[in-house]
Amino acid sequence: MSTGESLRAAVDSWSRFLGEANVRTDGETLARYSRTTQDSAPRPACVVFPESTGQVQEVVRIAGRYGVVVYPISRGRNWGYGDACAPTPGAAILDLSRMNQILEVNTELAYAVIQPGVSQGQLYAYLAEHQTGLWMDSTGAGPESSLVGNTLDRGFGHTRYGDHFETCCGMEVVLADGRVLETGFGHFANAKAGRVYRYGVGPFLDGLFCQSNFGIVTKIGLWLMPQPEDFCFFFCTVKDDAGLERLIDALRPFRLRRMLDSAIHIGNDLRVLSSRIHYPWESAGEAGALSERFRQQLRQMHGIDEWSVGGAITGTRGHVRDMRRLLRRTLRPLGKLIFVDDAKLALGERVARVIERFGMTTLSEQLASLRPVYAQMKGAPADESVHGTQWRLRHPPDHASDPRDPLETGCGLMWFSPVVPMTGRDARRVLNLVRPVLAEYDFDLLATFTLLNERSMIGILNVAFDKSVPDEVARAMACYDAAMKTLIDDGYVPYRTGLRGMDKIRDGDDVFWQVAREIKQTLDPGDIISRGRYVPPLKGPGASGA
């Protein structure tokens, strides 16, 4: 049977099982699922919409029977890392967004059990409406993004539960042969600790299904946070570039001792500006990257400094009070330090409304940037930060109809996100490596360093470009390739990657990838699940599906 015949047979089988409305092959749907923030992406053969674990099982059995590759997505908002696109052309996209049930929320032990289609906004609204007294952790990808999808790509957010995989407990996984695997204690019929103890007994298998293609996760448990007795947001800015190193080295002891346990974000001036404005094409011209002199003018105009750091203090009132005192002593010698709580934020907004009448808008702009970050530190998803993807657009949407989906506006976005030891010198080394690369291709460096755990941070660096300008797209791809190579060659390897970066992290002679392929060969010998995603494609019989 040819590839085309196999695909048609699979589509017919899926349509009979799921109904024709749940198996789409029309051009409009296929075009929508091949949109990307990189230069281009493979076009799928069809899109399948299962609504239960049982349906997923039968979908993969049919895929295996006909040798058709399936690519599962949770909600398809993996912007800048592959979006909803499969690594290989002709795949069947398995859209799990209709599996969107919150199956359980346990307020006594603070956890939830959810399906992959559950969005950040959905879980947040549930916790608030039912007055659970629990917080979730959210990313900056907006209310419509998936919690499961982000967890499986080892994404992170803003609170002390910012490392999402670390707070995931128990998975339900559909394997390539249709079997269902329950990890941890989940495979014991009457286990009482399946959602409160991650490891179970025996091998810890959960990690196999993160950043891999070994199975399809259809359910996970997520730990939630009891609302703390007290909460305070701190914000510190430094005027000079060297202040970045001093900030990191000053904050590291607090992270090592777990005195500050939220994720802490340190962003440069352009990262802050991109959340407020678009690239100033009229003022800056078509020069590409902004000059330092022009950036100084923008900083002065918008009331920002070279680097800004934001984080949260949570816990008892005594702990918050003591940490504020310690941070004053530590950070005030470095720059301007502000503490914000609910009362101060409300007061600032009242003052901003008054002085706006006299044409003074700087405070309003600062509060507009602060609100979503402040909310996310409490687990509330916000989509304002997605605005930064529009940085390079020549014709951005007007504010009133501003869509937050980068794919709706033609945004170009490629992340290269190295894991960096938490030292000022390592942060400086990363900047010294990537700044010349971006300058060579006429792009600005939008940079954030997120202090994620006690010893490491993630450099959130990206190339932003306008997909309507062919020359800029070509330069962006070359810039991304060069930046990734430069960082990896120097030992700063990304914590995750998108479609274009897969080949850059893999080496066929590396025992690590050899073992990963051996696991894939055992669990999915036909290579039908997400072929080419992280794990190198298998070779030989059974790897030639659609």
pLDDT tens string 148-173:
999 999 999 999 999 999 999 999 99
SS3 207: helix
pLDDT at 543: 39
Average pLDDT, the chain: 93
Q: Residue 66 and residue 317: Cα distance in Å, rounded?
A: 61
Q: Residue 316 and residue 161: Cα distance in Å, rounded?
A: 17
Burial class from Cβ neighbours inside 10 Å (0-12, 13-18, 19+) for residue 397 reads middle
- pLDDT per residue over 175-184, tens digit each? 999 999 999 9
User: Cα Rg for the chain, rounded, in angstroms?
Assistant: 24
| C-alpha closest to that of 97 among 154, 33, 159, 51 | 51
**Residue 261 and residue 188 share a domain:** no
What mean pLDDT is predicted for residues 260-265?
94
What mean pLDDT is predicted for residues 15-32?
97
- pLDDT per residue over 446-488, tens digit each? 999 999 999 999 999 999 999 999 999 999 999 999 999 999 9
Residue where a domain terminates, one of 226, 259, 293: 226
The answer to whether position 501 is within a domain reads no
By mean pLDDT, which of 71-80, 277-286, 306-315, 361-370 is the weakest? 361-370
Amino acid at 394: R
- Identify the band that residue 368 occupies on the pLDDT scale cut at 50, 70 and 90: confident
Beta strands 70-73 and 92-95 are parallel
Q: Residue 452 and residue 166: Cα distance in Å, rounded?
A: 11
**Residue 293 and residue 386 share a domain:** yes
pLDDT at 283: 83
CATH number at residue 366: 3.40.462.10
79 within 8 A of 412, measured Cβ to Cβ: no
Q: Residue 415 and residue 404: Cα distance in Å, rounded?
A: 18
CATH number at residue 23: 3.30.43.10
- As a whole-number percent, the residues of the chain with pLDDT over 70 amount to 96
What mean pLDDT is predicted for residues 337-354?
84
Residue with tokens 């006690």: 454
- Identify the band that residue 357 occupies on the pLDDT scale cut at 50, 70 and 90: confident
Domain membership of residue 396 as a residue range: 230-496
Q: Residue 500 and residue 479: Cα distance in Å, rounded?
A: 12
| C-alpha closest to that of 72 among 215, 281, 192 | 215
**Residue 209 and residue 277 share a domain:** no
**Residue 109 and residue 91 share a domain:** no
- What are the percentages of helix, strand and coil residues in the chain, rounded to 5? 40, 20, 40
* Count of domains forming the chain: 3
pLDDT at 541: 37
47 within 8 A of 92, measured Cβ to Cβ: yes
The answer to whether position 528 is within a domain reads yes
Q: Residue 41 and residue 35: Cα distance in Å, rounded?
A: 7
Residue 362 has pLDDT above 70, yes or no: no
pLDDT at 191: 96
What mean pLDDT is predicted for residues 365-379?
82
CATH number at residue 191: 3.30.465.10
- pLDDT per residue over 418-449, tens digit each? 999 999 999 999 999 999 999 999 999 999 99
**Residue 483 and residue 460 share a domain:** yes
- Identify the band that residue 544 occupies on the pLDDT scale cut at 50, 70 and 90: very low
What mean pLDDT is predicted for residues 507-525?
95
pLDDT at 67: 96
**Residue 285 and residue 351 share a domain:** yes
SS (H, E, C) 92-161: EEEECCCCCCEEEEECCCCEEEECCCCEHHHHHHHHHHCCCCEECCCCCCCCCCEHHHHHHCCCECCCCC
In a 13 Å sphere around the CA of 88, the CA atoms on its Cβ side amount to 25
122 within 8 A of 116, measured Cβ to Cβ: no
The answer to whether position 485 is within a domain reads yes
pLDDT at 399: 58
pLDDT at 161: 94
Q: Which two tokens stand for residue 428?
A: 């400086």
User: What single string gives the DSSP state of each residue in 23-56?
Assistant: EE--HHHHHHTT--SSS--PPPSEEE---SHHHH
Q: Within 10 A of 253 (CB to CB), how many other CB atoms are there? A: 12
Residue where a domain terminates, one of 173, 208, 226: 226
CA distances from 102 to 15, 99, 126, 148 (A): 27, 9, 9, 12
Residue 546 has pLDDT above 50, yes or no: no
Element (H, E) at 232: strand 230-238
Q: Which two tokens stand for residue 115?
A: 């399906």
**Residue 117 and residue 78 share a domain:** no
In a 13 Å sphere around the CA of 546, the CA atoms on its Cβ side amount to 29
528 within 8 A of 509, measured Cβ to Cβ: no
Higher pLDDT, 347 or 268: 268
Amino acid at 435: R
**Residue 169 and residue 107 share a domain:** yes
**Residue 217 and residue 175 share a domain:** yes
Element (H, E) at 169: strand 168-174
The answer to whether position 132 is within a domain reads yes
Amino acid at 232: C
Residue 60 has pLDDT above 90, yes or no: yes
The answer to whether position 239 is within a domain reads yes
SS3 365: helix
Residue 276 has pLDDT above 90, yes or no: no
pTM: 0.94
pLDDT at 360: 67
- pLDDT per residue over 288-336, tens digit each? 789 889 999 999 988 899 999 999 999 999 999 999 999 999 999 999 9
Alpha-carbon torsion (143, 148, 151, 153), positive or negative: negative
219 within 8 A of 182, measured Cβ to Cβ: no
**Residue 387 and residue 450 share a domain:** yes
Residue 372 has pLDDT above 90, yes or no: no
**Residue 419 and residue 436 share a domain:** yes
pLDDT at 540: 44
By mean pLDDT, which of 135-139, 322-326, 539-543 is the weakest? 539-543
| C-alpha closest to that of 273 among 483, 430, 448, 408 | 448
Look at the chain and count its residues: 546
Q: Which two tokens stand for residue 257?
A: 């001792």
Residue where a domain terminates, one of 457, 476, 496: 496
The answer to whether position 37 is within a domain reads yes
- Identify the band that residue 542 occupies on the pLDDT scale cut at 50, 70 and 90: very low
The answer to whether position 532 is within a domain reads yes
Residue 401 has pLDDT above 70, yes or no: no
- pLDDT per residue over 406-422, tens digit each? 998 889 999 999 999 99
List b or e across 28-52, with b for residues whose CB sees 16 or more CB atoms inside 10 angstroms: eebebbbbbbbbebbebbbbbbbbe
The answer to whether position 428 is within a domain reads yes
**Residue 213 and residue 262 share a domain:** no
Q: Residue 486 and residue 461: Cα distance in Å, rounded?
A: 13
| C-alpha closest to that of 233 among 299, 128, 158 | 158
pLDDT at 518: 97
